[in-house]
Amino acid sequence: MNKTGRFSNKIYPFISILAILALWEALSFFEIVPNFMLPSPQQTVQAFIGDFWLLMSHLKVTLLETVIGTLMGVSIGFLSAVLMDRWDPAYKAMYPIIVLTQTIPAVAIAPLLVLWFGYKMMPKVVLIVLITFFPIVVGVLDGFRSADKDAINLLRSMGASRWQIFRHIKFPNALPNFFSGLRITVAYSVVGAVLAEWLGGFAGLGVYMTRVKKSFAYDKMFAVIFLISIISLILIWLVSVLQKKCMPWEQVDEPVRKRDRNKVVKG
């Protein structure tokens, strides 16, 4: 019963994706939308295969920027959260500024970054750091602050140091928030990298995009859009895998499985 449930859970999104593809195919096949504006799924796939190696070489650049930027943004975000949790003046001084920076849209700041840091990797990495920083710092800080006061007191009664309280209570308590922040972040990072490349650069999926746009090769445009979403999905999936590895206690079942019971009632 459980297995069929899981199977039907997978079949629904599959059907909806298939329906969208069919609709898309129909729109271009019957030329409801002119073909030069909306290439068919087949044309998109062909464009993808035709430019595969070129796409991969650009992807390499984009991915490198994404990884460097994300790692830096996550580290800076995490360390800031630690600092703000440890030292209240830092919290009071930094928090409003962090929120304020988030009111500036990435699209608006990206051209400036290109202007300041040139066409190489620097502006892309800086933009990604700015994008990643916020969800991490806010999530992790919330995690630190929501740690159970009674548990902290218990450890204090055992004579635990600040570091031990951090290590055994605050840090693990912030892990779920950290990972949900990271999941949002990796998808945004790819988009951020592409956006910065759009505005100026020598290589990367964004650069490829501006080039094919100028030559009105919409099939290639679609191909690169798909590549970007696939890459984002893979990164999100990787974060989930990492989360499962880092939080094994989330994987065990409780003695009474409430979720399963709900399913039975529903079915």
Partner 1 sequence: MSTMSTHKLETQNITMKFGEETIIRDISIAVDRGELVSLLGVSGSGKTTLFNCISGIYQPSGGRVLLDGDDITGTTGHISYMLQKDLLLPYKTIEDNVGLPLLIRGMSKEEARKQASEHFEEFGLEGTQKKYPKQLSGGMRQRAALLRTYLFSDNVALLDEPFSALDTITKGKIHKWYLDVMEKINLTTVFITHDINEAILLSDRIYIMTGKPGEIRYEIRIDTPRSQRQGYDLTDEFMQYKRQIMGILEE
Report the interface residues with partner 1, using CB under 8 A: 148, 150-151, 153-160, 164, 168-169, 172, 175, 247, 249, 252-255
The CA distance from 223 to 154, in Å, is 56
Helix (H, G, I), strand (E, B) or coil at 148: coil
State the minimum distance, in angstroms, from the CB of residue 164 to partner 1.
5
- Which CB atom, from 31 or from 253, has the smaller least distance to partner 1? 253
AA letter at 263: K
- Which CB atom, from 4 or from 251, has the smaller least distance to partner 1? 251
AA letter at 148: D
- Which CB atom, from 10 or from 245, has the smaller least distance to partner 1? 245
- Which CB atom, from 24 or from 171, has the smaller least distance to partner 1? 171
State the minimum distance, in angstroms, from the CB of residue 251 to partner 1.
9
Q: Which residues contact 215 (CB under 8 A, 6 or more apart)?
A: none
Scored b (16 or more CB within 10 A) or e, 165-182 reads bbebbbbebbbebbbebb
State the minimum distance, in angstroms, from the CB of residue 189 to partner 1.
27
The CA distance from 23 to 45, in Å, is 16
- Which CB atom, from 105 or from 255, has the smaller least distance to partner 1? 255
Burial of 39 (0-12, 13-18, 19+ CB in 10 A): buried
State the minimum distance, in angstroms, from the CB of residue 182 to partner 1.
17
State the minimum distance, in angstroms, from the CB of residue 265 to partner 1.
22
